[in-house]
Chain A
Amino acid sequence: MARYTVQRILQSVPTMLGITMLSFLLMHIVPGGPASVMLGDKATPQLIAQINRSLGLDRPLYIQYGVWLLQLIQGNLGYAYSYHQSVMSLIGLNLPRTLVLVVTAIVISHLLAIVIGVFQAARKESRLDHGITVVIYFLYAMPTFWLGVILISIFAVSLNWLPSGGISNPLNPNPGFFSFVQHLILPAACLVLGTIPGWSRYLRSSMIETMVQDYVRTAHAKGLRKSTVLFRHALRNSLLPLVTLAGLSLPGLFSGALIIETIFNYPGMGLLFWTAAQNRDYPILLGIVTLVGILTIVGNLLADLVYGWLDPRIKY
């Protein structure tokens, strides 16, 4: 296991390097290059030339990449001029909020997908199963942003049950945890509804596959109750691949979070990214692109390791 872990970590290093190269490349295809990346709208030819000389941007590309990479490893992602702060401190402030949103959504989605998937598999080809499949088909094609708008129009505007955005009530000086949860419900629901279709469909087919296995038939033959067979025998064996699936859906979750944070004005990394795109604050954009890429790889790595740890059949 230890050897596999090390091996798997080493395997992800080239991909991570690839991500830094991609960011470096993006920095250089911006019209005007990195100097205009740093100067933003204030860039003039003289200023650009001056910066190029003082920062060594006239040196060969591979040396520039090396220097930039070293800074990156030290956690220096540059300076966000529209905020007058370092990119790292901005991300440090906003990333945890995005993680709360994404992790909440992952947990709830898993639970609901399991319930739906098991239910559908247990009554497969029934009218109810087909009905749920139709609903899921619709959710699958539903654009996240439209879903967000609908949720706001129903729950925030018409019914006035929940806040339409932000993470705290500006009129309340001491918001507290409850208020935060209230603000989290709609964005998280939006992300959950976007993830459930794929996962529950997957679990349904995985369960149907498991339920024809010999050990499930044996369990039935032993006279165990139907629910025991479903949950103790079939479900446990169908669950494993869901771990990998969660790892693979990370890029989609981050994209979803970006759109959702923008709609609900939820101050996470996605909203930061979107605002930076409006202001052309390139250091923020590139910092987040790099970080999201690395987070995705780390997420997939964790999913793989957890899979190996959960499944005793896998020996390294």
Chain B
Amino acid sequence: MAVTSPPAAELKATRPRSESRASSPFARIWQQGLGRAGLLIVGLLILFCFVGPMIYTQDPYAMHLIAILQPPSPAFPLGTNNLGRNMLARLMLGGQTSLEVGVASAVAAMVVGVVYGMISGFAGGWVDVVMMRIIDVLRSVPTLFILIFLDSAFRPSALLLIILIALTSWHGVSRLVRAEILSLKEMPFIEAARTIGMSRTRILFVHLLRNVMATLVVAATFMVGDAVLIIAGLSFLGLGLPPPAPNWGAMLANSMAYLPQNSWWLIYPPGIAILATVLSINFLGDAIRKAFDARLNTRG
């Protein structure tokens, strides 16, 4: 859903001074139950993936061939896979790749989407019509199909994969940004900026961009969740991130071959990790949206 957020100046003006509400956006996120849960889970996941390996220093690549497909035990808290590799260590390392690539491709997609949407909304006229038609086309073909096609054509490295995801999932943000720019550019402060002879680039990137920031932060948050899902999905399908570095999607795909052995310890941890990531990011996104939304704020 499109998020309408008023300019920051207006936000301050509508909030009564005497109100005891926290003023910083971070504090307003923290005040909400969902926001707190989201922040805590995201924090724990980051700790688990990035600090975890420093504390739990087992080698995720070492193969213990006498202990393959072992259920959880004190030696291997999350069991081992078909090559006798330590699943807890792999879950941590796999999380690093999944999260890093997820955040990177979300940021890249945001950049493409924001620039495209701003140009389309600001230019108006036939430029806007053509640019929106292009988005209509992209929206009709499911992203996953295009991604799989590109993936099979280029067999990408992690960096190229980030670019491919950015190139295929930017258009939602563009529509959002365009809609905001369309309404913002009729506002008096933009007219004022024009009258004093400010350049179009300056108006676009200094005045308009600053005012769509709230929308962008919300969209970017959700985008990270989507990107983590897309990468996990691609890796699950045997495309996506190249081996041998583990990632959650590929770990799940690997578990499928051992379903008949009922190896539940291979199925649940990576899935729970993906679910927790996406869920907490969605919580966070909702909380940020509410924190920025002045109408909701004044109503309490």
Contacts and interface: CB of A to CB of B under 8 A. Distances in A.
Nearest to A258: B144
A144 B228 CA distance: 13
A277 B239 contact: yes
A227 B229 CA distance: 40
B192 interface: no
A288 interface: yes
A289 B274 contact: no
A45 B65 CA distance: 46
Interface stretch (B46-54, B74-82, B111-119, B134-142): B134-142
A22 interface: yes
B189 interface: no
Contacts of B275: 138, 141-143, 146
Given A30-B153, A254-B145, A274-B237, A15 B140 contact: yes
A137 B149 CA distance: 31
A146 B275 CA distance: 9
Interface string A19-33: 101100010011100
A165 B55 CA distance: 41
Interface in B120-146: 133-134, 136-146
A143 B262 contact: no
Contacts of B154: 31
Interface in B245-300: 249, 252-253, 255-256, 259-260, 262, 264, 267, 270-271, 274-275, 278-279, 282
B152 A277 contact: yes
Given A14-B133, A289-B145, A145 B153 contact: no
B238 interface: yes
A252 interface: yes
B45 interface: no
B156 to A, nearest CB: 12
A280 interface: yes
A13 to B, nearest CB: 11
A204 B237 CA distance: 34
Nearest to A146: B271
Nearest to A144: B233
A149 B201 CA distance: 50
Given A149-B259, A157-B259, A285-B149, A297 B140 contact: yes
Given A137-B279, A143-B229, A293-B137, A277 B149 contact: yes
B35 interface: no
A145 B229 CA distance: 10
Q: Which of A26, A143, A289 has the largest count of B CB atoms less than 10 A from its CB?
A: A143
Interface residues of A, number: 51
Contacts of B148: 258, 273-274, 277, 285
A159 to B, nearest CB: 12
B30 interface: no
Nearest to A300: B140
A300 B141 CA distance: 12
User: Which bracket fits the contact residues of B?
Assistant: 35 or more
B232 interface: yes
B278 A143 contact: yes
Given A31-B153, A138-B279, A285-B152, A150 B143 contact: no
Contact of A259 (B138, B236, B274): B236
A26 B271 contact: no
A263 B255 CA distance: 12
B101 to A, nearest CB: 15
B142 A254 contact: yes
B145 A18 contact: no
A281 B149 CA distance: 10
A141 B283 CA distance: 10
Given A22-B141, A150-B271, A282-B153, 18 more contacts: A19-B137, A26-B146, A137-B279, A143-B275, A143-B278, A146-B274, A149-B256, A153-B259, A158-B262, A164-B259, A251-B140, A252-B142, A255-B142, A258-B148, A259-B237, A276-B152, A293-B137, A300-B140
Interface of A: 14-15, 18-19, 21-22, 26, 29-31, 137-138, 140-146, 149-150, 152-153, 156-158, 164, 251-252, 254-255, 258-259, 262-263, 273-274, 276-278, 280, 282, 285-286, 288-289, 292-293, 296-297, 300
Interface of B: 133-134, 136-146, 148-154, 225, 229, 232-233, 236-239, 249, 252-253, 255-256, 259-260, 262, 264, 267, 270-271, 274-275, 278-279, 282
> Nearest 6 A-B pairs (CB), nearest first?
A18-B137, A146-B271, A277-B152, A255-B144, A251-B142, A141-B278
15 contacts: A15-B136, A15-B140, A31-B154, A141-B282, A145-B236, A149-B271, A150-B271, A158-B262, A251-B139, A254-B145, A255-B143, A276-B152, A277-B148, A277-B151, A285-B152
